[in-house]
């Protein structure tokens, strides 16, 4: 029987090649599973027991409690449980791989995930969104680039990594383009007239022939592709400029894109496709913020026969 280290290597190759998971996902699986192996003190798949998983879970819970002991962030308990679940999901996926290959080990269905509360969405108001979009109001290359970034994020709902991967040969004669997202899945996103105009003005101002659509504007690093971290800093700086006191990130603009569609009548399946969610359960996190009309229905139709 092969040892766990060899089987883990084969599993990670399977996840990357056959399941099409991102390099980051593979790295996380490697870290989570390796930590479990180290804690369980075992090298054989048939030595993985329910007791070993339970003890590992208890260990993670205690580590997480120590890490949060001096912090009181909102939703801290949910964050702790979610972190533990990431480890359990990785271990369970590995066990499913073993079962698929007829290798005796613990039944993956014996691992239950911790129940977490509904995820809270960080959102900005329509007024704050409008102020954010208008923050880069100048005509410098940096202002034009930042305006194009903001307009494109809100027009398409792109993930920040997807935005950073775009090239400057984007066809602006069309209202749509394809993007390769998580798991190498390709989806179509759509350009608003405002986004097309902002990108066009930015590209006209650029003097370099760099491949990246969004590049550094500093002289020493001109043409260097922006990283997700760089875009996060840009959004944060523009939010402060717009007088927004709460935290604003590219992902929060993605939230605004989704809730804007749902509030204006889009169906959940369409929003799922536009966001590139593999599972509609991921998209359903947005539905609770679109139920404002229920109060209006209640007011309009309830209790009309009472005097």
Enumerate the active-site residues: 159, 182, 251, 254, 277, 286
281 CB neighbour count, 10 Å cutoff? 9
Residue 220: left (phi > 0), alpha (psi -120 to 50), or beta? Answer: alpha
d(CA 136, CA 234) in angstroms, rounded, equals 10
Q: Would you say 216 and 102 are in contact if contact means Cβ atoms under 8 Å apart?
A: no
d(CA 56, CA 88) in angstroms, rounded, equals 9
Task: Please list, in sequence order, all residues whose beta carbon lies within 8 angstroms of the beta carbon of residue 157, skipping any fewer than 6 positions away.
Answer: 189, 254, 257, 258, 274, 275
Q: Would you say 286 and 259 are in contact if contact means Cβ atoms under 8 Å apart?
A: yes
**Which long-range contacts link 234-240 to residues 24+ away (Cβ below 8 Å)?**
234/146, 234/149, 235/132, 235/149, 235/150, 235/153, 238/132, 238/135, 238/136, 238/146, 238/150, 239/132, 239/135
The radius of gyration of the chain from alpha carbons, rounded to an integer in Å, stands at 24
d(CA 76, CA 134) in angstroms, rounded, equals 34
Give the CA-trace dihedral at 293, 295, 298, 303, to 10 degrees: -160
Q: Would you say 105 and 98 are in contact if contact means Cβ atoms under 8 Å apart?
A: yes
């Amino acid at each position: 029987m092969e040892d766990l280290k060899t089987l883990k290597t084969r599993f990670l190759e399977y996840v990357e090649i056959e399941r099409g998971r991102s390099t980051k996902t593979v790295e996380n699986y490697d870290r989570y599973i390796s930590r479990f192996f180290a804690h369980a003190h075992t090298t054989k798949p048939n030595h993985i027991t329910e007791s070993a998983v339970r003890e590992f879970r208890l260990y993670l819970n205690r580590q997480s409690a120590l890490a949060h002991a001096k912090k009181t962030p909102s939703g801290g308990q949910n964050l702790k449980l979610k972190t533990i679940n990431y480890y359990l999901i990785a271990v369970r996926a590995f066990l499913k791989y073993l079962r698929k290959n007829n290798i005796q080990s613990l039944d993956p269905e014996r691992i239950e995930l911790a129940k977490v509360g509904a995820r809270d969405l960080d959102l900005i108001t329509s007024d704050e969104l409008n102020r954010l979009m208008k923050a880069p109001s100048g005509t410098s290359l940096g202002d034009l680039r930042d305006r194009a970034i903001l307009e494109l994020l809100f027009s398409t709902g792109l993930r920040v990594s997807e935005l950073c991967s775009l090239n400057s040969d984007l066809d602006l004669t069309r209202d749509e383009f394809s993007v390769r997202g998580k798991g190498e899945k390709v989806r179509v996103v759509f350009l608003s007239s405002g986004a097309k105009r902002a990108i066009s003005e930015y590209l006209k101002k650029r003097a370099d022939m760099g491949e990246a659509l969004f590049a550094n504007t500093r002289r020493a690093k001109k043409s260097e592709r922006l990283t997700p971290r760089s875009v996060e800093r840009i959004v944060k700086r523009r939010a402060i400029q717009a007088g927004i006191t709460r935290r604003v990130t590219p992902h929060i603009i993605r939230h605004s894109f989704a809730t804007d569609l749902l509030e204006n009548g889009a169906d959940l399946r369409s929003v799922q496709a536009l966001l590139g969610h593999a599972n509609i359960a991921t998209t359903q996190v947005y539905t609770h913020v679109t139920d404002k009309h229920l109060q209006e229905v209640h007011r309009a139709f309830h209790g009309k026969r009472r005097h």
